[in-house]
Structure 1
Amino acid sequence: MARMFRVLGFWTLAIALMAYAGDMYEMSLLFFIQSAVFFLFGYLKFSERTYILMFWGYMIVAFLGFTYWSVFEMGLPV
């Protein structure tokens, strides 16, 4: 399970580099931070249950943040 967090770190790093190359600096910073956290979690020796709970927590926060941003910050098309 720890290896999966390193895989997530790799893919978020790839997204961060593409966002940086596309001059989307805020998005790239967000994904660089996520990459660092995923790599950190990947090298800690937690139990499988802890990894699953951390992933569920991450998904809840990510989906709530995405929903808030897309509804309240981007606005609705008129």
Structure 2
Amino acid sequence: MDSAIDRIMQTYDLLMNRTADASAEARAKVTAYVAKLFEAGEKDTHRLTVCGLTYLRELDGSNDPVKAGFTGL
């Protein structure tokens, strides 16, 4: 689980230019989220990484399909 969180934060820090405080806050949130997934039975590091990155991108609004132009039509 720790390796997935480290990989999530390394990748996310490359995508987003943020302060150290914002990065620490994101790490705390994604750690709680990944721990919940891990406790629910997800053990695959790659899946945990993808889910964690998706979670952080949803939190900051950069994963909004409407903003990306996907209307569902």
Task: Please give the range of the TM-score, normalised by the shorter of the 2 chains.
Answer: 0.3 to 0.5
TM-score relative to the length of structure 1: 0.38
Larger Rg: 1
Q: Output the TM-score relative to the length of structure 2.
A: 0.39
Q: Which has the higher contact order (CA 8 A, sep 6+)?
A: 2
**Structure with the largest fraction of helix:** 1
